[in-house]
Amino acid sequence: VILRKEHVRTLPVALFDRLDQLTSPRLVEYWEQDPCPDDPSPDPSTGAREGGRGSPGTSEGGFAVAARPAVRVEAEFPVDEYDVLVLSADDSTSLEAWLRQNRYHLPDGIEPYLQPYILSGSKFLVARVNIQRVRFLWGRAQLSPLRFHYDSDRFELPIRLGLANASGPQDLVIHILAPRDQRYEVANYDNVFIPTNLGVSETVRGQFPSFYASLFDRTVAGKPRAVVTEYAWSSSSCDPCPIPPLDPESLDQLGASELPAAERHDMTVTRLHARYGRESVGDDLVFRQAPPVGGGRDSSGPLPTGAHPGSTNSFQARYIVRHPWTGAIACARPDFGRWGGPPDALPPPPPPRS
């Protein structure tokens, strides 16, 4: 597949910020409701309060002549602040030499990482920043995410090339949008779900990122080839919602515009989190469709802390701070254990018993 200009575009950074907010592990807080309410039937599932969340300039005048003719420029076009090339090559040594001669910065020892892709017939998309077209905000360059699309018989993500720059383990978060209830997982590595619905103390509120990092470390300990599912949910809903769900325009920007019209706006978002290094990665990530799951929601009785089969996808990484009722008990048969949002005015604690 040779990408053309119509296959490549930039996206607003804010769109990825929204996607991250909707799918990130989240901290919620619930307050125990008055066990002696005037209205005996409040909705305990409403009013949760959302807490924190867990996660060279270009030259003018074209390009230098390649050292060997084994590298070919299959396409060349501008995309906003980028000058894009699509390259093919007969061998990795020639490709590395061509890139260095044309002033692309490469890490030492990259040749073995290029070779498997050349042997498979892959093309290379190379994007150089054109400083004359870069937007600046408060004196800092703002680079746009790149989106490109193509058809392939295999649904995979090349990650081995990124190891050439790696000085240690790499963390990669992958969002997959698919029509209807199509959740995805990896086909060639282990799959695990992050524990969810865990009750935590109020102290976690101020250190949620470090809490979640420790939980993730424990989840993948002893499983260096595991990919962790952190979220699988309809794009049109959330519970609780830190921000409004993705609208049709956002889905189209993220790639739904390339799907048939009937499949564009009823999507499932899957969030996968991989941690890998040179010793744990042998192949690129290959994805497969997986059945719907639930988890990270309220239910009667003890809350399950893992994923379970579902009719639709409704799994999220959710961690709960609970505030027990501290007000007076003004009835003979108090109904404890009903949770919701904070009262309009928190009641004073009961007087101490004599």
Walking along the chain (354 residues) 10 residues at a time, the average pLDDT comes out as 94 95 94 78 50 42 47 96 96 94 91 92 95 92 94 92 83 94 95 96 93 96 91 94 93 93 88 87 92 90 89 96 90 88 62 45
Supply the pLDDT for residue 165: 81
Residues 6+ positions from 196 with CB-CB distance below 8 Å: 295, 296, 305, 306, 307, 315, 316, 317, 318, 319
Cα–Cα dist 99/68, whole Å: 11
The separation between CA 119 and the C-alpha centre of its own chain, rounded to angstroms, equals 30
Q: Can you say whether the dihedral through the CA atoms of 110, 113, 117, 122 is positive or negative? A: negative
pLDDT at 167: 79
Q: How far is CA 139 from CA 131, 135, 207, 288, in A?
A: 13, 9, 31, 43
Torsion of CA 301, 306, 310, 313, to 10 degrees: 120
Strand ranges inside 12-89, DSSP E: 26-32, 49-53, 71-79, 82-89
Which DSSP symbol is given to 210? H
The b-or-e profile of 320-329 (16+ CB within 10 A means b, else e) is: bbeeebeeee
**What's the confidence (pLDDT) of residue 55?**
44
pLDDT for residue 352 = 47
CA distance 309 to 7: 37
Residue 222 φ/ψ region, left for φ over 0, alpha for ψ in the -120 to 50 degree band, beta for the rest = left
Largest CA distance in the chain: 93
Question: pLDDT at position 61, please?
Answer: 39
Give CA–CA dist 258/269, Å, rounded. Answer: 16
User: Measuring CA to CA, which residue among 194, 197, 195, 193 is closest to residue 321?
Assistant: 197
End-to-end CA distance of the chain: 81
pTM over 0.95: no
Q: What is the pLDDT of residue 28?
A: 93
Per domain, the residue ranges of the chain are 5-55+141-340, 58-129
Beta-carbon contacts of 55 under 8 Å, excluding residues fewer than 6 positions away, are 20, 24, 25, 173, 209, 212
Q: For residue 65, how many C-alpha atoms fall within 13 Å in the half-sphere facing its CB?
A: 2
Whole-angstrom distance, CA of residue 23 vs CA of residue 270: 8
